[in-house]
Amino acid sequence: MPTGTLLAIIVAVVVVVVLAAMTVSFMQRRRHLRERFGPEYDRTVEESDSRRAAEHELQDREKRHDSLEITPLAPGSRDRYTREWSTVQGEFVDRPVDAVHDADRLVTSLMRERGYPTEGFEQQMKDLSVEHGRTLDHYRAAHDVENLSNGSQATTEQLRGAMVHYRALFEELLSDGGRTQSVPS
């Protein structure tokens, strides 16, 4: 076999191997992002110009999250937050709007104590999405109702739903390493 033909075959094989390796790498990265971000992966892709841009955005979120000092709660803090949640939840019967505002403040306080920056809702969402992507829709829904309640436009049922949504994120933020301190219903 002439050297030129052999060289062409080797180059073609190398190109195919490189393309296959790149494809596997992209697929592994995509699978990792889907698993890590859950429904937030699909939401980000849907809101982005392209899947590649969305995946780059999610990778940037991971890098920022990795630079944060997210810490578990001390048992005393966990107990204090659990008691505060019970108080906020009990407030709902007589003052539902105030309870929703207090739930929002309590979740923000818990985020801050765990090490999440709290400089704005959109950034909070991005920072939370890395570890809590499966509960972000709860947080979005609760935040939307809380905004409606500022203008006295939220119904009691919407406010009740907001409390349920806040509780979902609250419980997840309260947990450490798979051990969840359950919040009273």
Taking only the tens place, the pLDDT of each residue in 143-177 is 989 888 888 888 989 999 999 999 999 998 998 64
pTM of the model: 0.75
Q: Which residue has the tokens 């937050």?
A: 81
Q: Which residue has the tokens 């949504």?
A: 165
Left (φ > 0), alpha (ψ -120 to 50) or beta: where does 120 sit?
left
Reported as a single tens digit per residue, the pLDDT across 37-72 is 888 888 888 888 888 898 888 988 888 888 888 888
pLDDT band at 105 (very low <50, low <70, confident <90, very high): very high
What's the full length of the chain, in residues? Answer: 185
